[in-house]
Structure 1
Amino acid sequence: MMEARAFPVEVVDEDEPRYRIGVVAAMVQLHPQTIRYYEAIGLISPRRVRGRIRLYSERDVERLRQIVELTRLGVNLAGVEIILRLREQIAALQAEIERLRALHGVEPPTPYD
C-alpha cells in the first residue's frame, strides 16, 4: 500500500516585491510606460530597490489587473481610483466583521436568513 506523503505548500507573501516591470507588463498586457504612468498618478506603488529598480508584488499585479478590467469597462482613472479605494475599505470592513464574529463566537448568517 502506498503511503500518502504531504508536500510543503509554498506560502506566497502577496506584498513581497518580486517582479520587474517588463515581466509585470507581460502579465497584465500593458506597456511598461502605462504602468509607470499609473505609478506617477498614485494608482500603484511598487517598491524600489537599489534606488531605481521597480519591483512589483503579487498584490501590485492584482491591482493592475483590476485597473485593466475597470478601464476596459470604460471607467476613467479617477473612477478607477475611487472604486479601488472603496473595494479596499469593503475588504477591511469584512475582515473586521469576521474578526468580531470569531471573537464573540457568532456564526455568519446563511444566505436565506
Structure 2
Amino acid sequence: MDGRRRNPYELTQDTPVYVISVAAQLSGLHPQTLRQYDRLGLVSPDRTAGRGRRYSARDIELLRQVQQLSQTEGINLAGIKRIIELENQVAALQARVAEMEDALDGAAAAMRQREAAVHASYRRDLVPYQEVQQTSALVVWRPKRQQSD
C-alpha cells in the first residue's frame, strides 16, 4: 500500500465483493470447484463474519488463470499452486526492490545536500597553497644611504 488513507468505500481489485455463486459464474467454474481450490490454498477468498466466502476481482482473475493452466496447459493442481506461490514471491521481491530503490534515491539526495553544505562552508578568503618554483637568481639589496647636509 502507498501509505495514504484509503476511502473505505473505494472499490479496488482486492475488494472482496462477490459471493461464491457470482464468482463461480464469472470464472466459469462450478462453486464446488471454488471450494476445492480454497481448501487446497490455490485461491483464498476473504471471509465474512459468518464465514461466507467473498471473492475480489483479483481472485476471479486468479481462478481463470488456474483453470487455464489446468485445462489448456495440463498442469496439475500442485504445480499450479507452486506457480502461484512463485509469482507471489516475485511480486513481493519486485515491491521490495522498488522500496529499496526509493530509499537509495533518498539517501543519495541527502548525501548531495550534505556535500553541498560542506562545500558552502569552505572559507573563500584563503588562497590555496601553490608550490613556488625555486630559481638560482641572486638578488642584492642595498639600502640607500642618507645624505648629510
Q: TM-score range by the shorter chain?
A: 0.7 to 0.9
Counterpart residue number, 2:98: 98
Bigger CA radius of gyration: 2
The CA deviation string for residues 31-57 of structure 1, in whole angstroms up to 9 with x for no partner, is: 111111111222122223242422112
Deviation at 1:11, TM superposition (A): 5.0
- Runs of at least 5 residues in structure 2 that lack an aligned partner in the other structure: 1-8, 107-149
| C-alpha distance in 2 between matches for 1:105 and 1:69 | 40
TM-score, normalised via structure 1 length? 0.74
Which structure 1 segments of 5+ residues have no match?
Answer: 1-9, 107-113
Query: Which piece of structure 1 moves more, 67-76 or 48-57?
Result: 48-57
Q: Distance in 2 between matches of 1:65 and 1:11?
A: 24
2:86 counterpart residue number: 86
How many corresponding residue pairs? 97
More relative contact order, 1 or 2 (CA 8 Å, 6+ apart): 1
RMSD: 2.0
User: What TM-score comes out, normalization by structure 2 length?
Assistant: 0.58
- Percent identical pairs in the alignment equals 44
How many angstroms apart in 1 are the aligned matches of 2:68 and 2:88?
Answer: 16
AA aligned to 2:81 is E
TM-superposition CA deviations, 1:16-74 (whole Å, max 9, x none) = 21001111111111111111111122212222324242211223222212211211211
SS at match of 2:22: helix
Query: Which structure 2 residues correspond to residues 13-92 of structure 1 after superposition, within 5 A?
Result: 13-72=12-71, 73-92=73-92
User: What CA distance in whole angstroms lies between the structure 2 residues aligned with 1:99 and 1:49?
Assistant: 32
Question: Which residue is equivalent to 1:5?
Answer: none
Which moved further from structure 2: 84-93 or 94-103?
Answer: 94-103
